[in-house]
Chain A
Amino acid sequence: GQQLNQSPQSMFIQEGEDVSMNCTSSSIFNTWLWYKQEPGEGPVLLIALYKAGELTSNGRLTAQFGITRKDSFLNISASIPSDVGIYFCAGQLLSGNTPLVFGKGTRLSVIA
Chain B
Amino acid sequence: NAGVTQTPKFQVLKTGQSMTLQCAQDMNHNSMYWYRQDPGMGLRLIYYSASEGTTDKGEVPNGYNVSRLNKREFSLRLESAAPSQTSVYFCASCFGGANVLTFGAGSRLTVL
Contact = CB atoms under 8 A, between A and B. Distances in A.
Interface of A: 1, 6, 9, 31, 33, 35, 40-45, 48, 50, 88, 90, 92, 97, 99-100, 102-105
A40 B90 CA distance: 11
B42 A104 contact: yes
Nearest to A1: B59
A99 B41 contact: no
Contact of A99 (B58, B103, B104): B58
Given A42-B90, A42-B104, A42-B105, A102 B99 contact: no
B99 A105 contact: no
Contacts of A102: 35, 42-44
Interface string B69-112: 00000000000000000000010100011111111111000000
Contacts of A45: 100-102
Nearest to A45: B100
B98 A92 contact: yes
Interface residues of B, number: 26
Contacts of B96: 97
B106 A42 contact: yes
Among A40, A92, A99, max chain B CB count under 10 A is at A99
6 contacts: A45-B102, A88-B42, A97-B50, A99-B58, A103-B42, A104-B40
Given A41-B106, A97-B50, A99-B48, A105 B42 contact: yes
B66 to A, nearest CB: 14
B13 interface: no
A100 B99 contact: yes
